[in-house]
Structure 1
Amino acid sequence: MKLAVLSREPSNYSSQRLVEAAEKRGHEIRIVDTLRCYMSIVAHRPSIHYMGEPLEDMDAIIPRIGSSITFYGTAVVRQFEMMGTHTLNSSLSISRSRDKLRSMQMLARKGIGLPITGFAHSPDEVPDLIQMVGGAPLVVKLLEGTQGIGVVLCETRQAAESVIEAFLGLDTNILVQEYIKEAGGADIRCFVVGDKVVAAIKRQAAPGEFRSNLHRGGSAAVVKITPEERKTAVRAAKIMGLQVAGVDILRSNHGPVVMEVNSSPGLEGIEMATGKDVAGMVIEHLIKEIGEKPKRVEG
């Protein structure tokens, strides 16, 4: 099979592991810089060119679209879809998961457990917005934030009002969420491939920090998840339409609640902590999908 990884970071762990896993299984694979792709959008023969040459005869692509290039990245994925190339995660599923508000609304509609979440535009509504999520402490999140950036814990009502009013005053879209104190600064990252959670780790925030992101000093350890957590993670990925996803769950007093569904989950933390060949599982799932995909009939 001829495969391509769409990534702006060819030397990072996840990209390299996907290449290694594909080559180990006898497939031809290359890393393609998403922003160096350019497109001919026509009805009869849509195409993608890369560094002066057409990208043709790819059996499948593995999109690893960074949040800062979601708009252009999903356009490139859509173009591959127009050309009939199989994509591990579709452009629509990536767009859904990147829009925090949309993804929360989709998950809530299907009955997935979530932190109580508020969204407003006018600063006049701040007092009721705070009350809506259960008061302080609460968490304020930038809709465009990623990897813990733009996430603020407000421990008092006064602090919450000041932070929310400041963001709204800058015409910035935010979510206001209840703070799940009982989680103790930890979350569960469930790595979903197809209809299975193939690996799971508990990420614990560093002392004095409430965000559990590993690059912010958090630690990772293997964790045994409950059947309810497993079912929640798989359902959340399916609702987004993702074949591969990192689903972040908090353990609350009223059961598992989903914080985020990530369409380009990193491999390093979960492989290092669990010792599992997660990259290999991704490649094997992709090859199985290609094999099951109906052949196109020309003409």
Structure 2
Amino acid sequence: MARLVIVVEKASDWGSYYPSVDVVSAMDYLREPAGSDDERTHVINLCRSYKYLGTGYYVSLLAEARGHKVMPSVRTINDLGRRSLYGVDIDDLNQKLTHFLPAGGRDTTDFGILVYFGETAYPALQDLSRQVFESFPCPLLRIEFERDRVWQVSSIKPVGLHTLDDAQEDAFAEELDRFSRKLWRKPRARKLYRYDLAMLVDPNEQMPPSNRKALKQFVAAGKELGIEVDTIGKNDYQRLAEYDGLFIRETTASDNHTYRFAHRAEKEGMVVIDDPASILRCTNKIFLNDLMVSRKLAVPRTEILYRDDSRGMKEVAARLGYPLVLKIPDGSFSRGVVKVESEAALDKASGELFQHSALLLAQEYVYTEFDWRIGVLNREPLYACKYYMSRGHWQIYNHAAKGDAKSGGFETLPVDRAPSEVVKLALKATSAVGHGFYGVDLKQVGDKPVVIEVNDNPSIDAGVEDAHLGGELYLRVMQEFLRRMERKRQGIGH
């Protein structure tokens, strides 16, 4: 996938480990002439100090200037010097640390732990260690704690390899090997690919955005363009910086690992589809409705319901009329969407949905035999589909059906055969969201289309969305990645 370079300040710092061609001294690395190596390179900077304008600092600085992926980055080095950034989001830190300390150490007021690539020898503090590493990606860190009534993180500091004892050296070697194993064991033939793209998937997801055949098509299309597409999972977070881009093919949510992956990829300067801003904007229907209304785009009449406001809920129902549709803000694939036809049904359904969200959407019911889905990539229409309602049901997906969720039929058309007003409204809707990859769901009553949703990470299933374009659909997506990655390498924006 890439050439691995381990930079040490002095040869003696590596004296306890096996010799490796991957290890170079800081001075040798700094003296390499600029532009001397076109091979993709991943640098692990193990210098004794990252002090500003010191040797370790310059290793990371020049690595970035050479287009190498380096850990720690200059940004991480700078962030570690700012104590205001040490806050970590772990509510039960005091309880964890109190139980972690042995009985004889309950009067301790300060102590620290070592973290090797996000791993620590103390299972009770593993979650905290991983969170710190994700915030400050650095090979070796020491987290210091102090207690003044309650425990808190007092400092997070880089640690030099030369300070480790024998047991710590063994732990570091094990984690270094685990962290870089794939880099070391990949054959050099991978240099044939110009770029490496991580495709985030969950093989156990029941309703994934792409079926297995479609995922293989993306891999094949990338190969044709000189892009190595490597499928990764949620446990590969630490490897993310090895790649030039991230393609998310899991159902996204702002509160799970898909958003963390997108945010990390963007922070690393990678090309990412879809980006964290698009995930936030698309996965919350309340935000999306306000965005569409603010842009004066046609949507069904929609109002917000608030928990513990039964009077307001009845007033909304009176304005919208029955039947109406209730929606959880972050539902997907028709989940968390209920049609109600009476006040009693409204009370029952809202009571159940309010257990999951403090706010709900109430929307006028608009019946059509099918929904339009317009696929849009970088503000250009890519495909057009009709998704028909599930047999005997008012939605495309019927989750109440026995067995797996049942869906209706589909019809995939050339974009120019879809109604022009539908395509135009879809493009306006995605322009309000971003320049990523979206699927716009619309309903059309007569000649008037309305936007139902804008989905980031839209479905691309072999045999459905590709029914008209075939392999060309996957090629166009990979071509967009290639265009963006080349512009990144050249230092150009979108």
TM over 0.5: yes
Match of 1:66, SS state, is coil
State the Cα deviation string for residues 273-297 of structure 1 (Å, max 9, x = none): 6646322111112212223346349
What are the superposed Cα offsets for residues 217-264 of structure 1, whole Å, 9 maximum, x if unpaired?
210013432222111111212211142111111113471111111111
Equivalence for 2:318:
131
* CA distance, structure 2, for counterparts of residue 235 and residue 112 of structure 1: 8
Aligned to 1:238: 431
Alignment of 1:140-179 (within 5 A): 140-168=326-354, 172-179=358-365
Match of 2:473 among 271, 278, 286: 278
The residue number in structure 2 matching 1:29 is: 229
| Distance in 1 separating the partners of 2:378 and 2:341 | 39
- Give, in angstroms, the shift of residue 91 of structure 1: 1.0
Amino acid at match of 1:229: V
Deviation at 1:196, TM superposition (A): 1.6
CA distance in 1 between counterparts of 2:397 and 2:486 reads 36
Structure 1 range deviating more: 139-148 or 155-164 = 155-164
Give the Å deviation of 1:88: 2.6
**CA displacement, residues 107-152 of structure 1 (integer Å, 9 cap, x when unaligned):** 11111111111112112212111123x2001111122321111211
Q: 1:229 to 1:2 in 2, by over 3 A?
A: same
What amino acid is the match of 1:284? Q
**Which of the residues 231, 234, 251 maps onto 1:66?**
251
Tell me the SS of whatever aligns to 1:120. Answer: strand
Worse overlay, 242-251 or 152-161: 152-161
Rounded Cα–Cα distance in structure 1 between residues aligned with 2:213 and 2:244: 23
Query: Which residue in 2 is equivalent to 1:190?
Result: 374
Structure 1: give runs of 5+ residues left out of the alignment. 39-48
Corresponding position of 2:388:
204
Greater relative CO (CA pairs within 8 A, separation 6+): 1
Q: 1:78 maps to which residue?
A: 263
Give the letter for the 1:175 counterpart: L
Q: Which amino acid aligns with 1:217?
A: S
Partner residue in 2 for 1:45? none
Number of the residue aligned with 2:304:
119
Instruction: Report how many aligned residue pairs link the two structures.
Output: 279
Shift of 1:105: 0.8
Per-residue deviation, 1:32 = 1.2
Instruction: Report the AA paired with residue 36 of structure 1.
Output: N
CA distance in 1, matches of 2:467, 2:395: 20
Question: Which amino acid is 1:271 matched to?
Answer: D
Q: 1:17 to 1:70 in 2, by over 3 A?
A: farther
Structure 2 residue aligned with 1:8: 202
CA–CA distance in structure 1, aligned partners of residues 360 and 473 of structure 2:
33
Residue 216 of structure 1, aligned match among 400, 403, 406: 406
Kept in 2, the 8 Å contact 1:67–1:146? The answer is no
TM-score normalized by the length of structure 1: 0.84
Q: Deviation at 1:180?
A: 0.8
Query: Cα offset for 1:161?
Result: 4.2
- CA distance in 2 between counterparts of 1:22 and 1:136 reads 49
Paired residue type of 1:27: I
SS of aligned partner of 2:386: strand
Q: Could you tell me how far 1:200 is from its partner in structure 2?
A: 0.5
Gaps of at least 5 residues in structure 2 are 1-194, 205-210, 399-404
Q: Answer yes or no: is the 8 Å Cα contact 1:267–1:278 preserved in 2.
A: no
Once residues 65 and 291 of structure 1 are traced to their aligned partners in structure 2, the CA distance between those partners, rounded to angstroms, is: 25
Q: Does 1:290 align with 2:485?
A: yes
Give the equivalent residue in structure 1 for 2:59: none
Instruction: Report the CA distance shift for 1:32/1:170 in structure 2 as closer, same or farther (over 3 A).
Output: closer
C-alpha deviations, 1:194-231, integer Å up to 9, x for none? 22211101111122111124952210013432222111
Q: Which residue, 291, 314, 320 being the options, matches 1:106?
A: 291
For residue 31 of structure 1, report the CA deviation from its aligned partner: 0.8
Deviation at 1:69, TM superposition (A): 6.9
* Bigger Rg, structure 1 or 2: 2
State the superposition RMSD in angstroms.
2.5
Question: TM-score when scaled to structure 2?
Answer: 0.52
For residues 75-98 of structure 1, the C-alpha deviation after alignment (integer angstroms, 9 at most, x for no partner) is 222112121112132111111111
